[in-house]
Amino acid sequence: MSAPSRPSRILRGLAGLVLAVGLTLGLAVVPPDAVQGEVQRIMYLHVPSILTAYLAFTVTFVTSLLYLWKRDLRFDAVAVSSAEIGVVLTGITLVTGSIWGKSTWGVWWTWDARLTLTAILFTIYVGYLMMRAFAEDPPAAARYGAVLAILGFLDIPLNHMAVQWWRTLHQPSSMLRPGGPSVDPVLLLPLLVNLLGLILLYSHLLLERMRLERLRTEAMALRLTRGRRG
Partner 1 sequence: MGSWGFIGLAYGAAAVALVGYFVFLRGRLREAGEELRALTREGGRTKR
Site of interaction with partner 1 (CB under 8 A): 1-2, 23, 27, 37-39, 41-42, 45-46, 49, 85, 88, 91-92, 95-96, 99-100, 102-103, 201, 205, 208-209, 211-212, 215-216, 218-219, 222-223, 225-226, 229
What's the CA gap between 127 and 141, in Å, rounded? 12
Report d(CA 10, CA 1) in Å as an integer.
19
Calpha distance 155→173 (Å, rounded):
16
The C-alpha atoms of residue 212 and residue 99 are separated, in whole angstroms, by: 33
When the beta carbons of 167 and 226 are compared against partner 1, the nearer one is 226
- 18: amino acid identity, one letter: V
Decide whether 66 or 212 has the Cβ nearer to partner 1. 212
Q: Which is nearer to partner 1, 49 or 159 (CB)?
A: 49
Is the Cβ of residue 33 or residue 143 nearer to partner 1 in the bound state?
33
Minimum Å distance from CB 164 to partner 1? Answer: 26
Q: Do residues 77 and 59 lie in contact, with contact meaning Cβ atoms separated by under 8 Å?
A: no
Which amino acid, one-letter code, is at 80? V
Cβ nearer to partner 1, comparing 41 with 114: 41
In whole angstroms, the minimum distance from the beta carbon of 50 to partner 1 comes to: 12
CB of 14 to partner 1, least distance (A): 16
- Cα 151 → chain centroid: 16
Contact 30, 189 (CB under 8 A): yes
User: Is there a contact between 145 and 131 (Cβ–Cβ < 8 Å)?
Assistant: yes
In the complex, the smallest distance separating the C-beta of residue 218 from partner 1, rounded to whole angstroms, is: 6
Q: Which residues contact 219 (CB under 8 A, 6 or more apart)?
A: none
Cβ pair 184, 32 in contact under 8 A = no
Closest to partner 1 by CB, 26 vs 152, is: 26
- State the DSSP code for 27: I
Least Å distance, CB 10 to partner 1, is 17
Residue 205 beta carbon to partner 1: minimum distance, rounded to whole angstroms: 7
